Structure 1
Amino acid sequence: MLKYRTGIKNLPTYDVVERDWNIKLNANECNMNLPPVVEERVMSGLSRLAFNRYPNTETESLAEQLAGAFHVQRGNILLANGSSEILEKMFFCFGGRNHKVVYPRPSFSMYKIYADLSNSISVPFDLDEEYRLNAGKFVETVNTNKAHLAVVCAPNNPTGTHIPLEDIEYIAQNISCAFVVDEAYIEFDKKSATEIQHKYPHMIVARTFSKAYGLAGARVGYMIADKKITEMTGKVFMPYHLNILSAVTADIVYQMRHEYEPRIAMMIAERERMALQLKQMEGIKIYPSATNFILMKYDKAAALNEYLINIGIGVRSFGNAPGLENCIRISAGLREENDTFMKIVKEFVENHTEE
């Protein structure tokens, strides 16, 4: 009989299986593929690759470019397969047996899974009813528990909540353990912890190309941290862990990131337009968002989600998840997709108002 490691059986599965949606608004992806001028450069760059060689200069080029953009040294940058891999490795490096990890709830669902995988003790910190983070109480929780790792998602997923930079700095000033700021959606918020990171050597910023830059399929992320941290945590990564195709693609995309500025502005505008229209519908509550998605609460969320599934529209329903009861997360799609979605929701709400 096969004997698996204790605890694996009880781990939840992160469901990544998708169906062929007519409108897909469920994964916080960029709603457009590469800009044509960027795609042309990427295809040209990929055509010149030596596929028979391990990644080397390609990953170095990307890391050096990121270091220059953030005014840090090459040794302060560590590349990964999405920011998810960065986060996983942080839990492995700073977590472990009898090590406590503090993170917000509700937030990115993988934090709990990473804690379990690393045999760490989870200490979820509950956000308030409006999904705001109380920085003072968060600090108190970290210090009281003598945590080895603290994580915040800024802005927060799945609530969309903006966390003021002043609160991030307050936390950094008042805890001494490793402090990870997960900035997967920062391009939609603009106030980054990288502005103050030089003052706090225990702060680690994790970022991704998956959201604003539309490279979810390439899986590229990176972290910015003190050189001592990148050197130590780099030991838990596999050799050549970032493939050459992803590295070259991300390098070109970041060189041409100005091409994405109009797209990011458009996604923000669509997010705000959707929020304004949805909050006018009876029984729907919309929470402020600083991301490329919005979170809505509706007492008939389960029925609405089922209806949307039946007509081929994918959104993220949270069912009875703690703190997210009756909540649905909607990514900002293309304008015509958003219009169709809002029209259908409006009709559903009107037809179920008196039930």
Structure 2
Amino acid sequence: MQGFGQGPQMPTTTPKGFLAKIDPRGWSGRLPGGIMPGILPVPPRRLKPALRQRRLENIGLPMTLGRIGSLEVRLAQTAKDVKQAQKLRYRVFYEEMAAIPNTLSLVSRRDRDEYDTLCDHLLVIDHAAAPDVPGKPGGQVVGTYRLLRQEIAERHGGFYSASEYAVEPLITSHPGKNFLELGRSCVLPAYRNKRTVELLWHGIWTYVLHHKIDVMLGCASLEGTEPSRLALPLAFLHHHAPAEGEWRVKAVPERYISMNRIAREGVDVKRALQALPPLIKGYLRLGASFGDGAVIDHQFGTTDVLVVLPVEKINARYVEHFGAGAERHAA
């Protein structure tokens, strides 16, 4: 989710749908936002055993999850793959945007934290582009998402977004549901187009079906850390797309920022939609709702909102678009 996570967007061609309507300007889908206080960059030696475990857990998934022309979407298989994703995140979050790196990220030129060893990393690779490492085969990683399944999160202290939102009550109140957290999504500027995002979402949909995911969640971001300047989009989400009833999630008390900044009758819906980041508009079209309260992420210079999307609530036309069995872009 900001991609569902952090990233950019695209031109319009058929088929119609949210992917065909994404604006190429300003897509940033970092899901979830920021590095949790106290989490240190992960030593590279820990990536290899973690990746071996992830590969065992993903037995049955095809190596290639989808293709469009020279673009391929697949999961990271090696430590090199993960490092390429981290380098891409650094370029987008720290060099292009306004995130503030810690010392080790600054030295390594990689956005990294302990969650990188727990997550699967979805990659879009352009095989027609110069490789990330000169002289080496493999093309260039141009887009990424980070995926954290509930069963793994529960073994290692919980979901990353729990630093911003009280997600545990939501999870414990749905003991039969299988949750997936989406995050750290980004795309290189030249690839912020329909094809790249179609492949990212095709990869996520394939992963969701394979692991029998019931609910996706994660933080999406609005640029800026002054809620008064974001009053219109925040109020729109509060009044027109709140997660209600069993799906309601509230920001943790010490970080809670009210989204109810304009009365419902005072919200100009057209202007609010224009003010929303393309990724959040994409979530709305999918059928997502949003948590109670925003959270300021000073490290990334954003104001975050929580996206909640039960798979059963996904708009039917998007399920049809990618295929009930994720066959649309299957390799």
TM-score, structure 2 as length reference? 0.27
TM-score, structure 1 as length reference? 0.26
Q: Indicate the structure (1 or 2) with the bigger Cα radius of gyration.
A: 1
